[in-house]
Amino acid sequence: MTDVPIEISNFFLAMQAGKTGAEALAACFTDNAVYEEPFTGEMRRHEGRDAVMAAMALGWEMPMIDMRIRIDHVATDADEIRVGWTCFSPSIPGGKGSGLNRYRMEEGLIAQLITTLDGDGD
């Protein structure tokens, strides 16, 4: 397993903090960051830090109970960092869900984040 880059660790810590981690989470992204995510049932694209944070804030409206994220594996290839993860919470059917985050970094900040869930064909 490759060590988790500190920027990615900071992202996961801020995300797990929920609304109280919003400022730290926003600081993980470039001004023109792109975030693609499937959490409404279809892949959606958010462009710009404000749009990324608006998408993240949707999860704060109905936070998952006792949420914990485990990083399962990390791989780097050229300019991409891939992180497989499992999220645990009684709010998730079966108590857990898993997926993959693909990051492209610029000057220590997330410029692009693509999240897929296991079973999404990626």
33-37, 46-50, 69-73, 118-122: lowest mean pLDDT where? 118-122
CA distances 83 to 19, 41, 65, 96, 118, Å, are 23, 21, 23, 17, 12
pTM: 0.90
Does 122 have pLDDT greater than 60?
no
Q: Domain 6-117's class? A: alpha beta
Which residues are paired to 104 by β-bridges? Answer: 80, 112
What's the whole-number mean pLDDT along residues 54-66?
87
pLDDT at position 87 is 94
Q: CA-to-CA distance for 89 and 106, rounded, in angstroms?
A: 32
Does 31 have pLDDT greater than 60?
yes
